[in-house]
Amino acid sequence: MKQRLPDNITILAQSPQLRPDAIEVVVTIPTFRRPEHLIRTLQSVKAQMTERRFAIIVMENDAEGQEGAKAVRPLFEDGTFKGILLVAHDRGNCNAYNAGWLTALTQFKHFASLLVIDDDEIADPHWLENMCRARETYAADIVGGPQIPVFERPEQQKWAKHPVFAAPYEQSGPVPVVYSSGNLLVSRRVLEAMPYPFLDLMFNFMGGGDSDFISRSIQKGFKVAWCAEAPIRETIPSRRLERDWIRARGLRNGVISTLVEKRKRADEPLGKPRVVAKSLALLAFSPFKAIAKTLKSGSPSSGLYYIHVGLGRVLAEFGYANEQYRQPEKN
């Protein structure tokens, strides 16, 4: 008998003839006011070249408007897309992920891998297969993959190498950590071992709940790998290239880095002072790193990013939190 879901999760639609017990892979897609792109994302997932039996869970996180749910509900009900459409009634990035991941555990009893893709991304046709193969090849519990930025105008392509958009690794294999859930695989055994809610609601409108979750999973002994052969393409609106957005993202990433490391070192002797010392050292060194990056890339914005991260790390010690997702229209 299926476990009852919490009242803040409502299943709106389930595709006909869905066989939950046969599903090997679950693909989760959080969505918030991007109905047109959500359909493109779903189409790219449906087109996956794989023999693995997979289902999709779409997590609508705008309980009032439900633009995404209204756009795709008929396509779940007529079987165009195989899986479940739900509403995560509590706003916030972490709430959406938690709702989808919990639903996967309760509705699909035998899946081995859960994948994550956002509603502003398009999956490569071999994305699902290559991510799952990487998990098996490297005996990993968590696998990350590249998010290739797709800009609105050709002249914006130069931003692809900016630290905000560049992938952390170039080659496949075991890695110490991955940072983003925008292209992620999590094994079932990780979800079964981690407490619910999986993503800490402290990060709900800031982002970083994924980084914190991955960090805590690594502390429990789970292994991480990178799959360069499983790219997704992320649509980047021009507003994300504006100076204010880039600066805010750097500050936010610094804050997240401090918060995640504080939790990681919470039980260590002198853990808190060590985090503070590291933050101050990174801030002090950041101008030199900024100059080196600017000279190498020719982009002052790329260099300034490291100063913003350093500032964010230190500002986090004073309670600063840059909640970029609090105003979605500006994100």
The verdict on residue 150 lying in a domain is: yes
CA distance 252 to 330: 15
Q: Are residues 38 and 167 in the same domain?
A: yes
In a domain, 90, yes or no: yes
Give the confidence band of 1 by pLDDT, cuts at 50, 70, 90: very low
Helix H, strand E, coil C: the string for 185-243 is EEEHHHHHHCCCCCCCHHHCCCCCHHHHHHHHHHHCCCCEEECCCCCEEEEECHHHHCH
- Range with the poorest average pLDDT among 203-207, 223-227, 268-272: 268-272
| Residue 106's pLDDT band (cuts 50, 70, 90) | very high
pLDDT at 324 over 80: no
Q: What is the CA radius of gyration of the chain?
A: 20
What is the pLDDT at residue 329? 63
Which of 207, 237, 267 marks a domain boundary?
237
Residue range of the domain that includes 223: 9-237
pLDDT band at 330 (very low <50, low <70, confident <90, very high): low
Within this chain, do residues 207 and 288 fall inside the same structural domain, yes or no? no
What would the pLDDT profile of 23-67 be if each residue is shown by its tens digit?
999 999 999 999 999 999 999 999 999 999 999 999 999 999 999
Residue 302 within any structural domain of the chain? yes
Is residue 195 located within the same domain as residue 212? yes
Last residue of a domain, one of 185, 213, 237: 237
> By CB neighbour count within 10 A (0-12 exposed, 13-18 middle, 19+ buried), where does 268 fall?
exposed
- What are 248's two structure tokens? 């805010």
How high does pLDDT run on average in the chain?
A: 93
Residues above pLDDT 70, as percent of the chain? 97
Band of residue 3 on the pLDDT scale cut at 50, 70, 90: low
Per mean pLDDT, which of 105-119, 239-253, 287-301, 306-320 is the most reliable? 105-119
- Residues 135, 252, single domain; the answer is no
- Assigned domain for 147 exists: yes
Is 2 a member of any domain? Answer: no
This prediction's pTM: 0.94
Q: Are residues 120 and 261 in the same domain?
A: no
CA angle, residues 35, 39, 43, in degrees to nearest 5: 170
- Is there a domain that residue 159 lies in? yes
226, 274: one domain: no
Q: Is residue 167 part of a domain?
A: yes
Whether pLDDT at 2 is above 60: no
Q: What is the band of 176 on the pLDDT scale with cuts at 50, 70, 90?
A: very high
Average pLDDT estimate for 224-252: 94
Q: What's the total number of domains in the chain?
A: 2
At 241, give phi and psi (nearest 5°): -100, 0
Q: What CATH number is given to the structural domain containing 43?
A: 3.90.550.10
**Are 139 and 56 in the same domain?**
yes
* N residues, the chain: 331
Q: Which of 219, 237, 255 is the last residue of a domain?
A: 237
Residue 4 within any structural domain of the chain: no
